[in-house]
A and B are shown apart, each in its own frame.
Chain A
Amino acid sequence: MNALVALCHFCELHGPRTLFCTEAVHPPSPSPPQPGSAIPGDRDREADREGEGLTMRANSSATQRADMCEGCRSLPASHPGFVSVDSETGIRYLSHQHPRQPQLFSVVRQACVRSLSCEVCPGREGPIFFGDEQHGFVFSHTFFIKDSLARGFQRWYSIVVVAMDRIYLINSWPFLLRHLRQTIQSLQDTALKVFDNEQCVCPQRAVRMNSAFSPAVFPHQRSGNAARSLTSLTQHSNLWASLHSSFSWLLKACGSRLTEKLLEGAPTEDTLVLIERQTEQEEEMSGWDCAEGGGSNPQPSQSESVQPKDFQFDDGRQEDLLGPKFKSLRHLRQVLGANDFRQLAWHVLMGNQVIWRGADPGLIQSAFNVLKALLPVGCVRAVSYSPHYEEAYRCNFLGLSPDVPIPAHVSSSEFSMLVDVLNVERGCVNPVSDDDILSLYQFNISSANTQPTDKGPTLLNKIEVALSNENLSVEVVSLCLLCLKEEWMNKVKVLFKFSKVDGRGKEDTQKVLACA
């Protein structure tokens, strides 16, 4: 919980005092750190408050010692305090007599003074909430501890919970009350036993009644008695360690008292596929490790080794290959021209095998990289550069070196297309800029397809609109593609569910397509 807990005492000699304070120190923020530790101007604010008579400077142990008695003290000054670490969250719960964080010192001091000498609680024992935006908000529970030597045979204490989150502190009232009551009860019960023992040994009431009241001696007597610590009142030598544990627990439990169940959207299909592949890859890796341990030497086939690398856009590797590259779909479209691009994109979207044949693997790979964006990740199987033809079931993007022949069944198939990248012979020219792909290459597109590619699908039409509109930045286009892909994936899900899973007639399928 974003709060601190402190035990306070109204000392008969020194007034309200903070005895013991447990604060939660949170691990560094998961995001850019806020200026928190040292706020400039903090000193000024503290100085301002000094006028209220509530300020004591932290760490000025010399001055503290002067006006402190055993009753105002928990841990000796030499004691380093306690810490408990929540290993799960990294939150450290620190206990000292005073808060370590200087900006909290006066906050706690204020809370202590208000709880014990300003606010009025009916019956003097019980819970109160008070606070304001400047001093923080406080849930306070005041209580008495029996002391056979004290005036009225009891001393007055309070436990305060200080937070800036007013609402949460109030929300937590029933919880805090329930648990602080328990803590207080336990302290009171223990002190009562000690009190009863002491009374048996030496009944103070009798002593007091029998001793003659003398104004001269009285103050002296009282100051002698005022110095009993809570440790001595409870005869609990581990008291502060135990209180540290109690308070730390309280802060943790109160902070995690309520949890939210917050749902996120389903991951996109692309994310799902990527995650799936990653898991597969990891399993494969561990499988290899085992196999190697066994002494065998597995040789993964080439296509297998290419695939997992391929879907992760391996930009680093692409950078290594020199030469011109396609930077975006729009760039590709500009280079190929609208007609050729349309034809190419049509084949990509239809799931046909797209073969690029040329001498520049870098260029071909960059073409595949931009074309991939048209398809869901799960539909991309690329062999970026191969010395021999690969069948369509292995890959829908295939890069080949210039001399590789295309099998007849492929070149005659309407389900494949070939882009030949030919070097433009211009003799020995000066190195041209990378952008000027057309000055270096010429692209020949061929396919046995007879269907018209200029009508549909709608998806392609929309993509073309986005690509051709120069007003839209590359980022907009890629988000637009994402939208379109998701839209179509959703249609596909419906169609699949409808036709495959439920096995309906054609008429109904048409209806479904119309509405999806």
Chain B
Amino acid sequence: MPTLLQKLFSKRAVGNDNGNARDCSTAAEQCWASSEFDLAQIRLIVCQECERRGRQVLFDSKAIHKLDASEPTADETKTPPNRSGACHIGSQASEKEKPPTYQYTRPASDVNMLGEMMFGSVSMSYKGSTLKIHHIRSPPQLMVSKVFSTRFGSSTSGSTNMLQDSFESSQTFPSHTSSIGVCRVPSAPLLCLARSASFFAAHSNPVDMPSRGHSEDGDSGIARSASLSSLLATPLPSPGSSFSSGCASSYQRRWLRSQATSLQHGPMPRWNTEEMFSLSDESCSSNPAMIRRKKIAISIIISLPEREEENHNFQEFFFSHFPLFESHMNKLKTAIERAMIVCRRIAESSQRVQVYLCRVMEALGEFRMTVWNLYMAPLISEPVWLSMISQSTERNLLCQRFLKEMSLLMDHGAKSQFLSALLTAVLTHHLAWVPTVMPSSLPPIKTACQKPASQTVDLLAKSHPYNPLWAQLGDLYGALGSPVRVCRTVVVGCRRELVQRVLYILSYFIRCSDLQEHVQPQGQMENPDNPTNPCSSQTTDPTPEKTFPPKPDPLKPTACVIEKALNPESVPGTSVEQNNDTLLTDTKSTNPSSSLESSTVRLECAEMGQECFGEDSDSVGGGLEHILANQSPLLHRVQFHIGSPRETENEGQAGDLSGAGCGRGLDRKLHQRLLTDIRRNESTDSALGDSDDEETSLQELYMATEQKEYELPLPSYHVESRASVNHFGRSLLGGYCPQYMPDFALHGISSDLRLKQCLMSDLEHTVLHPALDEPVAEALCIVADTDRLSVQVVTSQRRVCEGGRLGRDVMVSNLVHTLITSALQLYALNIASDFCVMHLEDRLQELYFKSRSLAEYLRGQTRVHVKELGLALGIESSDIPLLAAVASTHSPFVAQILL
């Protein structure tokens, strides 16, 4: 880790030293990898498992060799791409030429073992897709597998030339959209709730979602679709009311996530649960009678770097970025499906194999390249927003640099309002800035960034854990609105420093939370008292049970928590008596053979118990009397603790001795209690004959259900907090990259050639298989061209664009324009740069307030009177898309009205 850290922050250290504002745009950009990442490290295996024929390998990239006379070593995986150069895939480059020929040799020897791992030794009857990850120790490899059930159409053999056409047309709108839509099974309560929401009912057919060609509602730019988070009503009052924390919408998103992934609700299929592998294009008309039991597994095997540290780094990267890997695997799966369907139509067998191999190899090439790019692409070394959050000391310098770059860019594109247009688009779609300006209701803590950290979200994270990485990914893609839309921004231009300047500026507006990691320090791991080491007490206290005979203990009842919910109607009186009995015998019995040590320990414990709980803990009899005396229909809870968690937390301090002693005493008593329990259990077992068995089991049942658990202190643990390195805020803000990349929330490229090729299918793929693990209504991409000074927004909801253009031009929001102008003019007047940045934030906050007025205005309106808005609120028609998007983060109904 140190080298990676050093790499990531080395530039900052330099900045610290000379102290002056350096030109950010020339700042070096770093990538993840500390060494080369070879494309051949990624292997693809496709296997099928059939009821009758067993397992077959359908593809193994290791067994495939490229036959090409011109390039003898032409297997593109063998030529590691130049680190600073693009990772071009051979088949891509020679696309116009004759496709390469492949030879399929015998699969590698490990394929049987791998097949076993992919499918498991016992086949599962589950019809949905299964995900598996294996770690292979030698050679070190990670294997990710997805196992699908297959689906056949009604006719698997009826192939005509017409099918080719149908394939072409279905590629623009992948056929399995519908199947996924139809297969959503809302069996979970959350989804049932969603169903009942009126919005969903109105548009209950997700197939209709991407309403192509309906340009009349194009202006709203809001998809008609339902998403889980947007539909689940609003469990919290909107900000501004009693729960007026600024982070209400972030809070809500996270809360919903914690609920949606909660184990307490049991398994809840959320969405795309029955994803299958299609062996026919007619996926919708599948005839159940035709379905045979067949499974197809797709596995990606990644060879891990030899060196321990690199291995570690790659694994950290892989596991933290898994959603992206998975999304690309889904893309690969779609391509393999297509390849199988297409090749089946080819009569001549050798050619069929060639087509199949070619297509799969091409898809694999793409997968490899994407992964390579993700891992190796240059990143913005100092994203402005994240740096401002994390580096409080350098704030002034950062502000200065940021404003300088922004004013340079403003001057550059002044005529075309390039910056205003770009920021209008970015603020409209990368919505994570909104919660960062929502006013907090809490007193400011003078942090250097002058903004309070959200305490409510912090508390939520502790009590209802969710995945902070997921939250961050959603932030970066701007998935905060309703319905959920995800957005990326690509800056195109041949002038490197100009593109980098734009990227740098945008890294202030494209925001996400910063992540901190809390881990045990290395030394702590080896500590025998480490809580993960269950046998530690054994080593410190080796022979407890043999030396001490089980002795009844006067304090024993306090060692456990008797948290008794007494309800006279449901609890039989006999059992209470019985319980009472055992407890009383416990207290009455004496301890004849206690050693000096154990008695002192016990004394300490007694004192602690009394300190903690005063009178209540002095006798259990009293406690029970209390319980019995107050028998009312209400629940009564009496708690006895010893060594409360707070007590144990103090262990490292001066009171160490008594705390530790008590802990050990407690430990000992507990195991004595355990022993007596076991003995009692054994004795009853042996004493009672078979005839009493039923009674005992009833009693056991009661004991198991009514008697509450022994309380043990939660082990305290010492953690080291450090800035997390493996998070999306660091990895998805790309620098000036050699090639277009589909994952990055922000990156720059020199040419839009490949962008034009891939963008539409990437956006469609994003809607079908969002890395966000949440249904997405629309995927967007902002394309800013610094050469032509144009800003366009491309959407997955394909609309007809004139003249072969990718998307639509962005209308400059007047509010955004004045906002930038104002901040930059203050900067030009030599006002302190941190004040200018604060002013910028104030103006962004004004946008938020305006969006609230707009939302409130829309609540009662059927038509928007733009003039009214302009006069009263200063909202012009050019501002409406922006403000509506902002409003949809706090008032989901806005999308509905604007449809």
Contact = CB atoms under 8 A, between A and B. Distances in A.
Interface stretch (A215-223, A301-309, A483-491): A483-491
Nearest to B319: A173
A362 interface: no
Given A78-B681, A271-B439, A264 B116 contact: no
A238 B538 contact: yes
Contact of A93 (B189, B190, B714): B714
A186 B533 contact: yes
A485 to B, nearest CB: 9
Contacts, number: 488
B835 A249 contact: no
Name which of B319, B535, B704, B705 has the most chain A CB atoms within 10 A of its CB: B535
Interface string B234-268: 01100000000111001000010011011111111
B678 interface: yes
A265 B845 contact: yes
A245 B531 contact: yes
A26 B113 contact: no
Given A62-B697, A472-B857, A264 B451 contact: yes
A84 B517 contact: no
A246 B515 CA distance: 26
Contacts of B154: none
B700 to A, nearest CB: 4
Given A119-B132, A173-B133, A89 B462 contact: yes
Contact of A31 (B235, B261, B462, B645): B235
B363 to A, nearest CB: 23
Nearest to B235: A31
A424 interface: no
Contacts of A483: 846, 849-850, 852-853, 873-874
A260 B513 contact: yes
Contact of A32 (B116, B235, B451, B537): B235
Nearest to A176: B319
Contacts of A430: none
Contact of B871 (A41, A134, A174, A465): A465
B319 A170 contact: yes
Contacts of B821: 515
Given A78-B704, A257-B519, A486-B846, A272 B561 contact: no
Contacts of B136: 122
Given A2-B262, A164-B261, A465-B871, A132 B131 contact: yes
Interface stretch (B173-181, B337-345, B740-748, B824-832): B824-832
Interface stretch (A330-338, A379-387, A434-442, A493-501): A493-501
A118 B270 contact: no
A471 B858 CA distance: 11
A28 to B, nearest CB: 10
B246 A264 contact: yes
Nearest to A113: B122
A265 B680 contact: no
Contacts of B703: 77-78, 80
A68 interface: no
A234 B536 CA distance: 12
Given A77-B681, A262-B247, A469-B872, A131 B671 contact: no
Given A84-B714, A242-B537, A462-B872, A166 B266 contact: no
A483 B872 CA distance: 10
Contact of B126 (A59, A132, A166): A132
A266 B451 contact: yes
A54 B417 CA distance: 65
Interface in B187-202: 187, 189-190
A134 B272 CA distance: 11
A175 B701 CA distance: 37
Interface stretch (B76-84, B302-310, B465-473): B465-473
B155 to A, nearest CB: 30
A503 to B, nearest CB: 12
A402 B116 CA distance: 96
B621 interface: no
Contact of A275 (B187, B443, B678): B443
Contacts of B719: 253
A172 B95 CA distance: 41
A42 B264 CA distance: 13
A162 to B, nearest CB: 7
Contact of B826 (A94, A104, A114, A515): A515
Contact of A259 (B468, B841, B857): B468
B709 A480 contact: no
Interface string B842-870: 11011011101100110111000100100
Interface in A118-136: 118-123, 126-136
Contact of B472 (A35, A119, A260): A260
B264 A134 contact: no
Interface string A85-96: 111111101111
Interface string A55-78: 000010110010000000000111
Given A165-B467, A465-B872, A497 B831 contact: yes
Contact of A183 (B245, B270, B533, B857): B533
Interface string B260-302: 0111111111100100000000000000000000000000000
B884 interface: no
Given A128-B133, A249-B714, A256-B462, A265 B841 contact: yes
Contact of B848 (A123, A164, A265): A265
B781 interface: no
A239 B535 CA distance: 7
A471 B561 CA distance: 63
Interface string A126-165: 1111111111110000000000000000000000001111
B350 interface: no
Interface in A254-270: 255-268
A167 B322 contact: yes
B135 interface: yes
Contact of B525 (A31, A61, A131, A178): A178
Interface string B463-501: 111111111100000000000000000000000000000
B263 to A, nearest CB: 5
A196 interface: no
B670 interface: yes
Contact of B439 (A164, A265, A490): A265
A237 interface: yes
Nearest to A131: B131
B316 interface: yes
B266 A260 contact: no
A241 B674 contact: yes
B454 interface: yes
Contact of B437 (A189, A265, A466): A265
B261 A163 contact: yes
A403 interface: no
A173 to B, nearest CB: 5
Contact of B667 (A4, A173, A238): A238
Interface string B629-652: 000000000000000111000000
Nearest to B646: A87
B464 to A, nearest CB: 6
A79 B264 CA distance: 23
A408 interface: no
Contacts of A37: 264
25 contacts: A25-B264, A36-B189, A39-B265, A84-B645, A86-B645, A117-B121, A117-B122, A119-B121, A120-B121, A136-B263, A136-B267, A162-B263, A163-B263, A167-B323, A170-B133, A234-B535, A238-B667, A263-B436, A264-B438, A267-B444, A462-B872, A476-B857, A480-B853, A482-B853, A515-B822
Given A2-B465, A80-B704, A261-B513, 18 more contacts: A26-B463, A31-B235, A82-B712, A83-B710, A87-B646, A117-B122, A167-B323, A167-B467, A168-B467, A241-B671, A245-B712, A256-B461, A262-B458, A263-B513, A275-B443, A472-B868, A473-B856, A479-B853
Minimum-distance CB pairs A-B, first 4? A103-B266, A264-B246, A165-B261, A249-B531
